[in-house]
Amino acid sequence: MISEAQQLFQQIGNELGVAECLQRLGNIYRMQDKNDEAIKMISDAQKQFQTSGNQLQAAECLWSLGEVYRMQKKYDEATEMIMKAQTQSEEIGYKAGVADCLKILGIICMDQTKYDEAVDMFSNTQKKYQNIGRIVDVALCYENLGRTYRLQGQYEKAKEVFTKALKLLKGFPGEKYTIGWTLLNFGYLFFDMKDFVEARRKYEEARDVFDSHGQLGKEVNHCSQALAKLDEAKPIASSSK
């Protein structure tokens, strides 16, 4: 349907319509992990938006390209694209876009084990989301902080921010993907702390949340794998006492 719309826009010379179709197709490919197709489509869309002076959508395309490169672990290219998107978002006063860019830069830092920089990024981003009222994204920043603190071995700090994230997400029961992943990552923390009872509780809660969505089978499997690993670890922990 989107390809057909693109052809119609091309026939009538509607360049903005063509660019929007390319952007949507590119993002579909991005979600499907078809990275080469995504990069081509989104790059073409970005150039067309830039040419027509539509800076907001051009910035969104740069952000999407940064995400594709990040998923490919091409961190230099990802950082370059996200920073361009951030600059463009700042120029047009697009506060949500600036915050989205900072969040991804934080994840890139975390992926590269630059944990102190990641903490600074997520803390800064959390405040920006708070200021524009994007509460689910505030919770996501807390979750990212929890993951970073866990990787640093700062378990009490991680517990504190995971708890804050879940408290905020109680107001958004439909955000099953975000709630599930927060619970699962909280479970990983308790596993590292060797609190296997609480780890099991969080894994099971995460599994139930993902399962209730109906289309998150891959995430349900992550929970099942975590529970299986927990069952393996408990006898080892018992025998070492």
Domain-by-domain residue ranges, the chain?
Answer: 1-93, 95-172, 174-235
Per-residue pLDDT tens digits of the chain, which is 241 residues long: 445 544 443 443 446 677 888 888 888 888 888 888 999 989 989 998 988 888 999 999 999 999 999 999 999 999 999 999 999 999 999 999 999 999 999 999 999 999 999 999 999 999 999 999 999 999 999 999 999 999 999 999 999 999 999 999 999 999 999 999 999 999 999 999 999 999 999 999 999 999 999 889 999 999 999 999 999 986 655 545 4
Does domain 1-93 sit in CATH 1.10.357.10?
no
- Rounded-to-integer distance, Cα 21 and Cα 25, Å: 6
Q: Residue type at 179? A: I
Domains 1-93 and 95-172 share a fold: yes
At 27 the pLDDT is 82
In words, the CATH class of domain 95-172 is mainly alpha
